[in-house]
A and B are shown apart, each in its own frame.
Chain A
C-alpha cells in the first residue's frame, strides 16, 4: 500500500532500533497491592499495565449457569495513557472487545473444574499504551492470577507479530509500527502445549505468510513465558525468604 511505511531499515533494524525478532524490554513484579488476592505490574517497552485479581469467591446467584466458573474481566485504559487524552477509560467498543478477548483467553487457561459455582474477577488497567496493549494486559493478568494462587493449566501469554514490507516477520510491535499500516496478529498461547487460546488479526497478507507470522508470534510467546517464569520464581524466593526458603532453593 502506498501509504505504508517501511518498518525495517536497510540495515535490518526497526524504528526503535530492535532487530526483527527482538522483544521489547520486559519488567514485571508480582504482589504490588495488599488488598486484592493477587496483583501484578508489567512493563513491556513503554506499555505499562497493572492487574488485580479478586477471588475465587462465591458467584452471585443470578449469574450462575449450572456449576460453572464465572470469569469476570474488566479492561480499562487510563485517560492519560495515550498521547491524546481519552475521554473515558472504559466502555468504548475497543475496551469491550478486549475485555471479551481477555475472558476467552483466560478461560482456556484457568482450571475451571476446580472452582465450581465461583467467580474470579480480573481488573486490568493500562497506564501507558504503546502498542500490544492486549498482549501486555493478558501477561499481567496471568501473573496476577499466579499471585492469587489460582490453578492454571499453564502460563497463558500473548505476543504480537507483524510483517514488514519485504515479508520479514516482526515480533512484539510497538505503537508506531501498529499505526503505520502493517498487518497485526495477536496470539494468546499456552506455549508448552503449543496451543492457541486466542488469536486475532487485522489488515491483510497472503496466506503463504500466515504460518511464518504465527510461528514468529509463538516464538515470542515462548520467550515471554520464560521471562515470566523467572519473575515468578524470584518472587517466590523473595516472599519465602522470611521463612528461609531462599536457602532451600
Chain B
C-alpha cells in the first residue's frame, strides 16, 4: 500500500527549516560544559597531569582515572581501551582527564592551564611503516585479529594458469564529516543516568556507561537526539563520549554536555581504516581467474575497538563478485599508535573492493582484454560457490546489473575511443571511462544476528495510533519514514496512524545497532512479525478471521466492518497493547568463524558502476563527468529515499577516491579542518544516473535487502579504472588527486 511509494521524509521539514533541536541546541539548568585533556604524544608513560597553581580550579570539575567508580575501559568488543588513560599512552590525543566548567570559554581557559607530561616512547605510525615492517619482520607487529580464507588448492591454480598477475593497493583514511560533530549530554534523575546525544547504537552506549560509572544497566538510559549524520562514525565513539559526560556528571552532580568542535572531531574520533592489499592471481589467456592469493593489512590503531569485525567484512568482500576456484586470503588488523579507526559506511568492504575491482582492470590492462569481458568470465551466478564455500542459491543479480550498466553508459564504445584518444598529443583534456562491479552482504557477518537476538516491538495505543519501538536510529537515512511505511502496509492502515519515535532505551527493546545495512532488512522483518501478531490478537479478540482493508477491519464470517481506530480502542482499552518479537534467525545460515567457512551473509545486494572522467593533461586535475550506477536492492520501500541513499553514498565514495586526503604527520592528522579536509561540493558532482533493479529477498520486509553501504563500494575503483583508461597508467592508491597522478607519471618516467 505504501511500499514503492515516495512518502516524504517525516523528519524532513523540521530539519530543513531548522526547527529540530540537535544536542547542541539543548540547555539544562546548571549544565556544565566538558572538555577533554589529551596526551600530547603518540606513545609513552603518563608521568603527570599538571594543574597550574596560579589558576583557580575551584569551580572546575576535574575527573581523572582515579575518579572512576566502575571499571576503566570502554566496552566494545574487547575491553582494552581505557576510558581515561592512567599509565600507558597509546595515541596522540588519548584522553587522560576531563574537565567541566560553567561555560565553554571558562572550560577552554582551564584547559590551557593543564599540562600533560609523558615519557615518550617510539610509536608505530602510518600504513607505510606498517607495510615496511610487515615485509621485513612480521612477528614484531601486534595483530588484533587475523582471519584466513582457504578454498581449493592455490598451488594447483598457479601451476595451471597461463599468466601470473600481481599488484599492491593502498587506501587512506576517510573522515565521516557528518554535518553535526559528536555531542552528548548526561544528567541524573532519581538515581539514574540519562545520556542524550548524537548516536547510532543506544544499546552499545548503555553497557559502556554502566561499566564506567559502576551502575546497573537498568540505571542507565540512553536517548537518541536528532542526529545530523553518522555514517558509522557514531557507532562506537558515542560510548566513549557518554562515559566521559557521565563521569563528569557523577562527580559534579550536574548535567554535563560535551560537544566536539570540528577540529577535535576530525583529529581524535574514528575514521575509515587505511588498508594495504597485495593480490597475486593466476589467470588464463581469456581472463578466467584460476587462483587468487591475497594479503590484507588494516591499520587498526591503538585499541581493538571494532577493527576485528571491520576486517572480517573486508576479508569476506575481498573477492568481490567473482567465482574463483582457488583462494587464499591472509588478513591482519595491525595495532599502531593512532586514534582507533572504526566503522564507516561499507565497513572494510570499500577498501578490499577497491583493491579487487582495480585488480580486475589491471588484469585486463596487462592481458589486453576488455575489463567487461574479464568481469563477465568470472562473475558469480546462481549456484556459484564463494570463497567461503557459501552456495549462492538464489537472487544473484550482478550479471543483470552489469549488462544494464554497459548499455546505459555505452561503456564498450567509449572505452575503445578513449583508449585510443589517450595516445593523441593535441588535446588538453583526456577522457576515460571505468567500471566496477560490487556486492554488499546485508546484516551482521556470520552468526552475528543469531547472537544479537534482536527484539523489536509495536505498541497500539487506545486512540488507534501505532508506535514502532526499535533501538534503531534515524541518522538521516530515513528509518522514521521507512518503518511506518512497512508497518502501515503490512497492516493495511493509514500511514498517519504510525509513528516511529527516536529510541529511548527505557521504552524500546534492543533491536541491535543501526549498522551493517541491517535495519530495514532485519528489524523491518521483526516489525512485520509484530504486525502479524497484532492481526492474530484481533482475530482472537473478535473470534474470527480478519482482513484489514485500508484501515477497516473486515470480519470475514460476520461481515462486520470495524474501523481500525475503534478496534484499537477496544483491544487496547485499559492500557496500550505492546507486542514484541525476536528476529527469527534462519537455521540454514551456518557460519564457522574459526575456518571462515559457511554462510557469511544471508543475502547480498549488487551494484555496477561506471564513471567517466576528464583529465587535464597540463594539471592532472580530474573531473568526473558522468556517473552511471545500477543497484539491485531487493525492493525499494521508498524509491526516492533509496535513490537519495544510493546517490549520496556514491558521492561520499567519489570523495574517497578522488580527493579526501588525511595525512598523518608525527601522529597528528594534517588535514583536520573543513578548510583542509576536502570533500566534494555540488560543483564537483558529475551527472548521476541511478537505476534500481528489484529481485525481492523472500525474508526481507516486502522483499527489501540492505542498501545503505552498497553505494560506497564501487565508485573509487571505477574512478581508478577510468583514469587507467584515460592515461594508460595503473594507479594503485586513493585518493587519486593530481599529486598522486604526478607521482605515478614520474615513477614511470612519463613527465
Do A and B assemble together?
A: no
Residues of A at under 8 Å CB distance from B? none
